[in-house]
């Protein structure tokens, strides 16, 4: 079992509690673990890092609250209440935005965040999130941006705002440059961040669900009494497994999302069809990896044939073992490009997908290197018709910037040498 590779009793307890429903077996195991001497500060901090604090608190509160030190339970309760307030505030904001887009005839698909909490967990308070993800057609992205600005939103932002963002970087280029898959809007007064997207993942990942066929398969979910359309369970499962693979399953909450979706909607999923579609898109192994982790770490029950197929993939088992070993391991170093690329190549289905990934990854790297960003625009403000001039200005800015950095490092080394 992968759960035995995660180390301490605290980590095992977190895995036992990181689920919306507890069966008799889990309750028995939780009771045993609570009888041990536990590092509650580590446990709570880890639950916050992995985005499963609400599940930890809910499970402990429902099962054996008397076995938790009062100070630790109170700390968890305070975090939980703060998450509830934020979750309901974001849900209310999402309802207003959906009505705004509808009134202007703009199709938009909210996903993750409050929509995922409501449709999969069945409770807004059980998932930790801090922003709103909304998918729109690419041709509508500028119109949606203007609508958001008219409602008091500002372009960009997010860094240092104290929000719990799912997984996004904070420095995004303007959509006019056609660089990223999403860009960011913030409402500082209300503490809201929105990530607008027109693709599910970067193009180099060779996976996208933003086409007409899948927009027709949307399913309704109730958010505070208002019906909102989002991805159908089968499409959402693919999205979650690809999303988790893109981020190397570094947070437990992404595994929880898959496990809870299988629990809540597994009977509605055409498992033969989803495996066929995943294979045709080259993400069959990513689907298998997500399901394997959900089954092994969190006890998600898979149909017999699905479980047999997933467990028979030696590469899935190998990658899953590596993920479980690193899941709770402390790391001060950010993931490097080499480790990230090596992981992506492991989870690709076939050789042709790996070669396609290499080509697209390099192409995106080159594109990012030559495409102007916010620093270029700030250094040389230009009206929209002259944006193209930033492409000529960018190499000069980079040469000057890195030249200064190089000279500063040389000066520092020289000073150190003289001091020694």
Element (H, E) at 33: helix 24-34
∠ CA 40-28-5, rounded to 5°? 60
Provide the residue ranges of all domains of the chain, joining segments of one domain with +: 2-364, 372-419
Report strand pairing: 192-197 vs 219-223. unpaired
Rounded Cα distance, 131 and 166, in Å = 7
Start-end of H helices in 104-169: 113-116, 141-150
**What integer pLDDT is reported at residue 103 of this predicted model?**
94
What's the burial of 420, exposed, middle or buried (CB within 10 Å: 0-12/13-18/19+)?
A: exposed
Q: Are 64 and 22 in contact (CB under 8 A)?
A: no
Please give the DSSP secondary-structure letter assigned to residue 120. Answer: I
**What integer pLDDT is reported at residue 352 of this predicted model?**
65
Contacts of 185 (CB under 8 A, 6+ apart): 145, 148, 149, 153, 154, 155, 156, 157, 193, 194, 196
> How many CA atoms, within 13 angstroms, populate the side-chain half-sphere of residue 37?
0
Rounded Cα distance, 393 and 376, in Å = 7
Q: Are 157 and 126 in contact (CB under 8 A)?
A: no
DSSP string, 195-218: EEESSSS-GGG-----SHHHHTT-
Per-residue pLDDT of the chain (420 residues; tens, 9 = 90+): 565 556 799 999 999 999 999 999 999 999 999 999 999 999 999 999 999 999 999 999 999 999 999 999 999 999 999 999 999 999 999 999 999 999 999 989 999 999 999 999 999 999 999 899 999 888 888 899 899 999 999 887 644 333 455 554 433 444 433 344 458 899 988 889 999 888 776 665 656 654 667 788 899 999 988 899 999 999 999 999 999 998 999 999 999 999 999 999 999 999 999 999 898 888 899 999 999 999 999 999 999 999 999 999 999 999 999 999 999 988 766 666 667 777 777 887 766 666 666 666 666 666 666 777 767 777 778 776 777 677 777 777 777 777 776 677 666 665 555 554
Q: Is the pTM above the cut of 0.75?
A: yes
| Other CB atoms within 10 Å distance of the CB of residue 281 | 18
φ, ψ (nearest 5 deg) of residue 267 = -70, -20
Rounded Cα distance, 268 and 281, in Å = 21
**What integer pLDDT is reported at residue 381 of this predicted model?**
80
**What integer pLDDT is reported at residue 344 of this predicted model?**
76
């Amino acid at each position: 079992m992968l759960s035995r590779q995660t180390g301490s009793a605290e980590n095992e307890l977190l895995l036992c509690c990181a689920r919306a429903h507890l069966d008799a077996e889990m309750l028995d195991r939780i009771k045993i673990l609570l009888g041990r001497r536990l590092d509650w500060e580590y446990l709570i901090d880890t639950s916050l890092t992995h985005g499963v604090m609400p599940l930890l608190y809910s499970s402990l509160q429902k099962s054996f609250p008397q076995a938790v030190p009062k100070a630790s339970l109170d700390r968890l309760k305070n975090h939980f209440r703060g998450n509830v307030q934020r979750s309901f505030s974001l849900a209310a904001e999402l309802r207003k935005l959906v009505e705004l887009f509808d009134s202007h005839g703009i199709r938009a698909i909210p996903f993750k965040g409050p929509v995922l909490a409501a449709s999969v967990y069945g409770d807004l308070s059980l998932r930790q999130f801090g922003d709103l993800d909304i998918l729109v057609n690419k041709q509508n992205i500028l119109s949606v941006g203007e609508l958001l600005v008219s409602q008091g939103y500002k372009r960009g932002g997010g860094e240092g705002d104290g929000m719990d963002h799912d997984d996004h970087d904070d420095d995004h280029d303007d959509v006019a440059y056609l660089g990223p898959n999403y860009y960011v809007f913030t409402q500082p007064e209300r503490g809201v961040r929105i990530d607008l997207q027109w693709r599910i993942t970067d193009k180099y990942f060779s996976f996208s669900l933003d086409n007409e066929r899948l927009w027709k398969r949307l399913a309704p979910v109730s958010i505070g009494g208002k019906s909102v359309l989002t991805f159908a369970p089968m499409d959402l499962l693919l999205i979650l497994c690809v999303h988790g693979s893109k981020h190397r399953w570094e947070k437990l909450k992404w595994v929880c999302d898959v496990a809870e979706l299988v629990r809540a909607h597994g009977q509605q999923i055409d498992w033969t069809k989803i495996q066929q579609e995943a294979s045709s898109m080259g993400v069959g192994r990513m689907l298998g990896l997500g399901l394997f982790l959900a089954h092994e770490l969190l006890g998600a029950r898979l149909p017999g044939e699905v479980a047999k197929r997933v467990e028979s993939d030696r590469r899935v088992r190998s990658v899953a073992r590596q993920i479980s070993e690193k899941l709770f391991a402390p790391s001060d170093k950010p993931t490097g490009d080499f480790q990230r690329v090596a992981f992506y190549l492991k989870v690709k289905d076939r050789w042709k997908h790996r070669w396609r990934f290499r080509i697209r990854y390099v192409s995106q790297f080159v594109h990012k290197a030559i495409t102007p960003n916010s620093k270029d625009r700030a250094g040389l403000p230009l009206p929209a018709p002259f944006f193209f001039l930033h492409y000529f200005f960018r190499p000069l800015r980079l040469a000057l910037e890195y030249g200064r950095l190089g000279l500063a490092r040389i000066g520092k080394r020289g000073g150190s040498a003289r001091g020694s």
